Structure 1
Amino acid sequence: MTASTDTPQPRPVFSTLPKYAAGKPPVPVAGLTQYKLSSNENPWGPVPEVSRVLADFDRVHRYPDPLSTRLREALARHLHVSVEDIVTGAGSLGALTQILATFAGANADGSQDEVVYAWRSFEAYPICVGLAGAKSVQVPNRADGAHDFEAMAAAITDRTRVVLVCSPNNPTGPAVTESQMRRFMAQVPEHVVVVLDEAYFEFCLASETPAGEEPPVNGLNLYPDYPNLVVLRTFSKAQGLAGLRVGYSISHPELTQYLRVAATPFAVTSLAEDAAIASLEHHETVMERVKHLVAERSRVVDGLHDLGWWVPETRANFVWLALGEHTQAFAELAEQHALAVRAFGNEGVRVSIGEDEANSRFLQVCAEFHHAPRTPGRS
């Protein structure tokens, strides 16, 4: 059906935006427990103390604190940063939209600011950039799924206002190191905002770094040295609060003074704030669960290697299968085994680390599939 020109029409940019495809639930299969491995969720949920907060909450009739003051104070103590450097948002994605709304968009003369980021990366990036009125500049990943920082630096022009760095990169998995970030920051003009998206940071923290290798970057070690750097984090992944939507950014007051203006009022509910604080107060328990998922991730990666499969190094709670034209066939086979995975066109499949049984079944599916991804450059 063609829309009438007499009805309200969206802005022209809508016709160019991709649609966000959330991870689908598993399809029921007789005799099999269903597992959702398509959304990078924490299968164990929040710690018990958070469940008690949810059960006892009785303030739904009151507006939340628009500044999330108690949560910011708790984060400041936990992270050893200034409370003034923290701005909360509805998940790290909400915090990102605040950054883009503040620093990138369409200008009075009709020109568009540019936002540079690796691709493939988080699929919400092009949507958020487009809605902000800015232009996406996508720089292809390296063959191993990691950011190509030389190419990203070369893509910066006089119209670039923001650069997005996703570490670990969703959906491919590789993380950025501190030395890589410092070399890159040295090439970025000081007026360009660089966003370090660390949604999966806790999984990096729980990962062992092989001898002789540099560990993944910790944005808190970087941002004090760079007034144009913003660190993004979330309670959705490690803490299991995806359904409550609470995240935050950390940057210098020179930036936060503007981000607070762009922040959606009351975006973080009082319930989400209470739950996030409870998670911080029981951080050790959160990290015990994260360490278990990291151990399962290692088991999955080792199992894939044993099957002769190549996967990029991952520091997140998922693995990337570069299956190309065989992507949809693998997703269908997984579905037949009551597993929901996340297929990306004809590029590959992202599989979250889930319950132990789910991970074992995933490896069984891989053993049945006859189109294993190989090391880039090899047939």
Structure 2
Amino acid sequence: MVSKLLTWIGKVLNWSPILHVSSDSDFGSFDGSKDDFRLSLLTLSLGQNKYYFISASFNNNEWRVNIFHNLDFFNVCPISTEKEIEMKNSAYIDSFNDRAEETDEIVKRHIELLKEKITQNRTRISNSFTKLTGYRSLVLALSGAGVYLLTEILKSRAIDMYLGISSTFLLLFILYGLSAFLQITFALKIKAFVKSSFKEFKDNPTSIELAKSFYTDFVSLNNESQIIVSITKNAEKYFNRSFIVLILAWFWLFFHQNTFSINEAIFLPTENEFVVMGKEQKLQTEQMSAFFSSLAKYQGTIYVVSNTSNQKVETLTLFIQSILTENQKLSPILLKNDYLDNDVIILKLGE
């Protein structure tokens, strides 16, 4: 039970760039299945590399503390070198020597099987690149929604907890969206894979040499497909996260704008209240006319409610002050935190 709880906490913290939990052997992901893990104060994922600041890692029953650690993707999933593939080729060719009397038949079967495996790997690579291209287009589309969200947040004058939550999710969207885009760009740039050479087969046109060429392509393509599929899964992970946090950012902004903001929708005109300045600082002529009609029959205090930063309230106050009688008094109420959305100005007669 404790192990499941810790795994769940690790999965949750894997979403956060602060107090981040991850596994180096899984290139920064975490599902609790690996023997190693890393707890870092701050992490940044930038394509091929993940950067950890002030982290503690546990691996092979040993703890290590790092002020800075750079995790390179190719340290986790390396590209097979020409020397490594040649060693595998030699071991593969040697396997036929023990069955010399059946070599031709066995080689033919191997070639057919290798052809099938090569086709499968090429299909996996092609499907992954198709996904990556689609994710790249979607990330760019979401970026437009993110920019629009930023403008809406910057336009909001009332600051509260809900706007702060929305801004936090927007920051996560920027981090995840950038991570997804850089993962995609990284995958599309990988080219350093070994390929078979026709020259070798031309110099030694035997069935075993042909099988060796197919085996070279199989090993190389198998390595390439593992790398591309792994990067695609990482890009998909960050894309899904960016989409989710963007939805949450919009939700909290909507909640902020429609539930906890004071605007014309909340301050509807009443018998003794008049919204004389509306959106975009436009004078509401009908409300102003209604105010003057009520003012002619009223004796007492007139309250002017507005944001302190509203530059038009002073002009309006001076104008109203100039037309008041001896039995009428003007009392401004200025809100220091710009709580009134859209800088509306409300005139209220009496208590």
Same fold (TM > 0.5): no
The TM-score with structure 2 as length reference comes to 0.22
Pick the structure with greater CA Rg.
2
User: Which structure would you say has the larger RCO, counting Cα contacts within 8 Å and 6 or more residues apart?
Assistant: 1
The TM-score with structure 1 as length reference comes to 0.21
User: Greater helix percent: which structure?
Assistant: 2
